[in-house]
Amino acid sequence: MNLLSATNLSHSFDYELFNNVSLELNRKESIAIIGISGSGKSTLLHLLSTLLKPDSGTVELLGEDILSMKPKKLSLLRRNELGLIFQSHYLFKGFSGYENLEVAEILAGEPIEEELLERLEIEHCIRQKVTELSGGQQQRVSIARVLTKKPTIIFADEPTGNLDKVTAGEVMELFFEYIHKHKAAMVLITHDETLAHMCDKVYKLENKELIRVK
């Protein structure tokens, strides 16, 4: 069974962004999506991750059609199986980094792993208020929060956009180790072709089509 199977997705806002986009994601697999700004990458990720309904087409996650799923089941799927790392998924600002992780710990019933904090190099700043952290530190706390949930599918939209090259590479390695260890998978959006090519497959959103380039 594929973890994700999207078939013939089309979507428009003021104009058509893409049509007939199909994509499959298997366990332990990572897929990168590249494309110029405004090509519809974030919109596609929203369709794949239950946040937006497509104009047409179908999306199955863990073998189930998400478009016909009841709201309660959909919210359980989001909570238990999906890990969303989006710019718009803000941390709770009044809390410390660690308190943000504790929310994930309680909701998912999974412990916060000290090793994860060390790998992300946030163990020294995790007790500080989110508002006191740099953009890059906040990004790494967001990643720690999502991985603490132990998601089966990670959807990440420019998750390393605020990090330097070396740290971004280390975070990518962490994602790959995670998906192998937990038999999970990842769909990653990035404008960085080097990071994209670290993934098993690379697709480009161009001229309203999703084209496989690796």
Instruction: Tell me which residues touch Mg ion (CB under 5 A).
Output: 42
For 24, 33, 50, 152, 153, the CA distances from 69, given in Å and listed in that order, are: 19, 26, 10, 18, 18
- Distance CA(99)–CA(91), nearest Å, equals 10
For 82, 123, 158, 207, the CA distances from 187, given in Å and listed in that order, are: 11, 27, 11, 20
Instruction: Decide which of Mg ion, ligand ADP, none touches 145; Cβ closer than 5 to 8 Å per partner kind.
Output: none
Complex with ligand ADP: residue 15 or 114, whichever CB lies closer: 15
State the minimum distance, in angstroms, from the CB of residue 39 to ligand ADP.
4
State the minimum distance, in angstroms, from the CB of residue 156 to ligand ADP.
13
State the minimum distance, in angstroms, from the CB of residue 12 to ligand ADP.
9
Complex with ligand ADP: residue 15 or 94, whichever CB lies closer: 15
Which among 154, 160, 142 has a CA at the least distance from the CA of 178? Answer: 154
- Distance CA(97)–CA(140), nearest Å, equals 10
The contact set with ligand ADP (CB under 6 A) reads: 13, 17, 35, 37-43
Cβ contacts of 70-76, under 8 Å, gap ≥ 24: 74/50
State the minimum distance, in angstroms, from the CB of residue 44 to Mg ion.
9
Instruction: Decide which of ligand ADP, Mg ion, none touches 43; Cβ closer than 5 to 8 Å per partner kind.
Output: ligand ADP
Instruction: Decide which of Mg ion, ligand ADP, none touches 37; Cβ closer than 5 to 8 Å per partner kind.
Output: ligand ADP
Instruction: Decide which of Mg ion, ligand ADP, none touches 151; Cβ closer than 5 to 8 Å per partner kind.
Output: none
CA 196 to chain centre: 14
| Contact present, 138 and 179 (Cβ < 8 Å) | no
State the minimum distance, in angstroms, from the CB of residue 94 to ligand ADP.
27
- With CB atoms as reference, the residue minimizing the distance to Mg ion is 42
Complex with ligand ADP: residue 13 or 114, whichever CB lies closer: 13
Instruction: Decide which of Mg ion, ligand ADP, none touches 88; Cβ closer than 5 to 8 Å per partner kind.
Output: none
Q: What is the helix (H) or strand (E) element at residue 156, kind and residue range?
A: strand 153-157
